[in-house]
């Protein structure tokens, strides 16, 4: 059976409202507002979340938040709760991106709490895990992924319906100066993560790849047996770039 990949982008700390509007307008004018061959998702910054979710409401494109706290409300100045992002129209929450782990004190424990909270509110949790360059170069990728995978699912109440996606994003592959992971290497890490999940939960979860995905490597990555989708940064920040990758991947998976 042909796979239906997740293909999405986080805008990180980019785009004014006018720029968000332009991206969404291009998306809405495309052939992909209702797409059976891929699950599209867009993760704007909080400032544009309500507006983008509203604008894409009638489409099949999922809109997510880049983070959400584990508490529903309270004295947590500067934080945004899962109740609030859901209220803005988000149905997905990205959790544990390496930039948050590195710069904002996100830990395996807070990631686990946030995943459980997002799921408790009926949203999909998209959890980023990944090895640092130091872990990669010293052969400790598997150890890092095992630790982060276990923490990501540790607090979820699995007796209830829960949608959790994992994004394998090697830290050394992300952003300017990042090296895209070799597709075979990425696939092997996805095999490992899925094995851990099967042992832990009795079933694997979808695992997406992220880190310097671009028009030149997207198809080969998406073709890997255990890569269930692509999580794209810079190459998808212009709607035309995003739609170009979506078009190429869908066409390649048909053949």
Query: Out of 4, 175, 201, 220, which residue is the one contacting ligand LBSJTCU2 (CB under 6 A)?
Result: 175
Tell me which of 94, 106, 135, 169 is the catalytic residue: 169
Residue with tokens 């990180």: 12
d(CA 160, CA 163): 10
For residue 129, the surrounding DSSP H or E stretch is strand 124-129
Nearest Cα to 62, choosing from 70, 71, 52? 52
Binding segment toward ligand LBSJTCU2, per CB under 6 A, in 55-63, 111-119, 174-182, 242-250: 174-182
Residues 68-97 within binding reach of ligand LBSJTCU2 (CB under 6 A): 97
**126, β-bridge pairs:** 94, 165
Residue 15 makes contact with ligand LBSJTCU2 by CB under 6 A: no
220 is catalytic: no
Indicate if 103 belongs to the active site. Answer: no
List 42, 85, 113, 174, residue binding ligand LBSJTCU2 (CB under 6 A): 174
Six-digit token pair at 177? 């100066």
Segment near ligand LBSJTCU2 (CB under 6 A), from 22-30, 113-121, 192-200, 210-218? Answer: 210-218
Q: Which of 211, 205, 235, 209 is nearest to 221 (CA)?
A: 209
Instruction: With CA atoms as reference, report the closest residue to 209 among 225, 192, 222, 191.
Output: 222
Listed ranges 49-57, 170-178, 184-192, 216-224: which one lies at the site for ligand LBSJTCU2 (CB under 6 A): 170-178
């Amino acid at each position: 059976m042909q796979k239906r990949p997740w293909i999405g982008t986080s805008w990180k700390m980019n785009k004014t409202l006018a720029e968000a509007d332009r991206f969404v307008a291009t998306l809405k004018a495309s052939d992909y507002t209702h797409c059976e061959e891929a699950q599209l998702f867009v993760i704007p910054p909080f400032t544009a979340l309500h507006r983008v979710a509203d604008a894409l409401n009638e489409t099949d494109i999922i809109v997510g938040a880049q983070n959400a706290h584990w508490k529903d409300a309270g004295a947590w100045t500067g934080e945004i709760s899962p109740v609030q992002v859901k209220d803005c129209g988000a149905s997905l929450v990205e959790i544990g991106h390496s930039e948050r782990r590195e710069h904002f004190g996100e830990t395996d424990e807070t990631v686990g709490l946030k995943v459980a909270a997002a799921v408790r509110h009926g949203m999909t949790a998209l959890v980023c895990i990944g090895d640092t360059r130091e872990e990669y170069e010293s052969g400790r990728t598997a150890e890092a992924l095992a630790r982060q995978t276990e923490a990501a699912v540790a607090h979820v109440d699995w007796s209830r319906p829960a949608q959790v996606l994992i994004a394998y994003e090697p830290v050394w592959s992300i952003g300017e100066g990042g090296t895209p992971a070799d597709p075979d290497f990425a696939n092997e890490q996805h095999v490992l993560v899925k094995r851990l999940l099967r042992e832990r939960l009795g079933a694997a979860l979808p695992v997406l790849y992220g880190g310097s995905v671009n028009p030149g490597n997207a198809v080969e990555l998406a073709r890997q047996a255990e890569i269930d989708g692509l999580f794209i940064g810079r190459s998808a920040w212009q709607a035309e770039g995003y739609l170009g990758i979506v078009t190429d991947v869908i066409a390649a998976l048909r053949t």
